[in-house]
Structure 1
Amino acid sequence: MAHIYIFSPSSAVRDKAAFRRGVRRLQAMGHEVELDPAVLASHMRFAGDDATRMAAIGRAAASAADIALISRGGYGLTRILPGLPYKAMARAIERGTHFVGLSDFTALNLSMLTRTGQITWQGPALGEDFGPASAPDDIMQACFDDLLAGQGEGAGWQLPATEAVIQTRVRDAVLWGGNLTVLCSMLGTPFFPAIDKGVLFLEDVGEHPYRIERMLTQLLHAGVLSRQKALLLGQFTQFKPVPGHDKGFKLATVVEWLRRQIKVPVLTGLPFGHVPTKVLLPVGARVDLVTEGRDALMVWGHV
């Protein structure tokens, strides 16, 4: 049985039914679920005002939980990055707490890496992944269980059959990344990691391919992409195409364009993003990455 602390560092929880289902499911798995006192707080669109959410992160760090799991993403972390309790979170991680989340949580992942060098995780959120009306995804659940058991050592996936095979070999590179929009919003700030020769992974939701290309262009012109050993593209979902205007411009167009701009391998199909099937990824861990035909394997060992 694990101790899981649920906190809300970003947007307010609006789907209370999914929240309750998520808590019940974790409890049914035998876990001790502790709810932050402000987990359901609401201030405008946020889960409490800035001070409330910073205090919640501090309580998560002090909880001695095995996993500190966000209730949901949304927006709110970038505006409080200067005030986060980095030393307390670093001590919590050293004692064995894993901070887990995605989407807006990318801001915490990257700022923690910049300020402390400690590993935090991109993974599920309570409502989105443990609280849907259907059962949680088996792969997500297995990866979550592996983290709890200290057994997660890597992630594998198959590259899409529609793309040419790209043979890739990367050794001992820092894994970093997360939500593309959040990551781009941190560029040029003291919270953006200066990672050279890393493995950068990206995902997003609700962003049309032209917006994805525009953000990738920003990273390209800033020199971020060319400094990496590999770029992994996860799932880009829930956008609305404009058939009468796009004229064939789609996500595959963006990928093809990107590969012409940089010599870095660009691998797609990573099972991560705002989708049910997602792996857990340790931001800041050193990884090896290899492809054999269409099979891709990324290994970080025990972290």
Structure 2
Amino acid sequence: MPAHACLGVIAPAGPPREGTLEQAVPMIERLGFRAKVFPGCGGPSFLGHLAASDERRLADLHEALCDPTVDAVIGLRGGYGCTRLLDRIDRAVLRRFPKPLIGYSDLTALLALRQQLGLAGWHAPMPASDWHKGEGGWADAVALADRLRSGLRAGDALGPALAPHPLHRGRAPVRGVLSGGNLAVLVALLGTPFMPDLSGAILFLEDVGEDPYKIDRLLCQLRLSGALDGLAGALLGSFTDGDAPDAVLADYFGELGIPVLAGWPSGHTSPNLPLPIGIAVTMDPVARTVSA
């Protein structure tokens, strides 16, 4: 992105927690960008768990994309609400203004829709979810800003080589479109027109607050739907605020016979490195790296 690029801040999902909205613009400016906050970020909230009405949140998304002063669009935070917008989003606007979309968690749904249109986005930390959380949260914001400024070139590493992990599988590099995001949100797209095609994909998954039996139920639904058939590989991020689901993950992904890397530093924790959803990447299970 150009120097002093403008980030359009929208709240397509949940309302910001008290005191976090006020920090968004100063943090964006501290990173060297300009900020434009769209009205839905300030509410009024709807149904108690949505940042604003569906109409307001949808309008903010469309307006941020169409606004010539906005270079990229970033979600204020996750929560829930993006799936309520999917069938109302103007795909012509998405195609006409293919600006970077930045966010994760509930924004997995928006990234999936864009991927269907051949548009990439950044699975990355957001101002009111992450950036304000001490040194780690701010380091993640800086890492995102550095990536936005530098762009992504063929061969660029998406993160450091991983430490050995008992879930690692595979002996040769594989290449596929990086897909996925939050496991629960992705599973909620099954049976809808908005579930991305995972054939030949490298599937990235992370989640928060889900104990192993819930991870089991979600992965079972993916398996029964056929969504796990034909994967090129799996990249497993953080699974936090619940008992470690390693045994469940090993049970599902071990039997697929595909390369697997686990412990990738992205998800509802820190570090939360930006990942380009919707572009082809190479995963090397021996070097334990992922690159563009």
Same-fold call, TM > 0.5?
Answer: yes
Q: In the aligned structure 2, how far is the partner of 1:102 from the partner of 1:142?
A: 15
Provide the residue aligned with 1:180 in structure 2.
183
Q: In the aligned structure 1, how far is the partner of 2:248 from the partner of 2:141?
A: 28
User: 5+ unaligned residues in a row in structure 1: which ranges?
Assistant: 242-249
Per the TM alignment, residue 286 of structure 1 is displaced from its structure 2 partner at its CA by: 1.1
SS class of match (1:155): coil
Q: In the aligned structure 2, how far is the partner of 1:30 from the partner of 1:143?
A: 12
Provide the residue aligned with 2:61 in structure 1.
57
- What pairs with 1:159-178 in structure 2 (closer than 5 Å)? 159-163=162-166, 166-178=169-181
SS class of match (1:224): coil
Write the letter of the residue equivalent to 1:69.
I
Provide the residue aligned with 2:290 in structure 1.
298
Taking a change above 3 Å as real, the CA distance of residues 265 and 291 of structure 1, as seen in their structure-2 partners, is closer
Identity %: 30
Question: TM-score, length-normalised on structure 1?
Answer: 0.87
Provide the residue aligned with 1:122 in structure 2.
123
1:256 is matched with which residue: 250, 253, 257?
Answer: 250
Q: In the aligned structure 2, how far is the partner of 1:47 from the partner of 1:138?
A: 26
Q: In the aligned structure 1, how far is the partner of 2:50 from the partner of 2:189?
A: 19
Are 1:103 and 2:108 an aligned pair? no
Q: In the aligned structure 2, how far is the partner of 1:68 from the partner of 1:40?
A: 17
Contact preservation (8 Å) 2:9, 2:36 = yes
Q: In the aligned structure 2, how far is the partner of 1:237 from the partner of 1:165?
A: 19
1:88 is matched with which residue: 58, 69, 93?
Answer: 93
- What pairs with 1:256-295 in structure 2 (closer than 5 Å)? 256-292=250-286, 295=287
Provide the residue aligned with 2:147 in structure 1.
146
Write the letter of the residue equivalent to 1:268.
A
Provide the residue aligned with 1:247 in structure 2.
none
Provide the residue aligned with 1:199 in structure 2.
202
Deviates more, 1:175-184 or 1:137-146: 137-146
Per the TM alignment, residue 134 of structure 1 is displaced from its structure 2 partner at its CA by: 4.2
SS class of match (1:181): helix
How many residue pairs are counted as aligned between the two chains?
284
Provide the residue aligned with 1:246 in structure 2.
none
Q: In the aligned structure 2, how far is the partner of 1:155 from the partner of 1:184?
A: 25
1:222 is matched with which residue: 217, 221, 225?
Answer: 225
Taking a change above 3 Å as real, the CA distance of residues 145 and 225 of structure 1, as seen in their structure-2 partners, is same
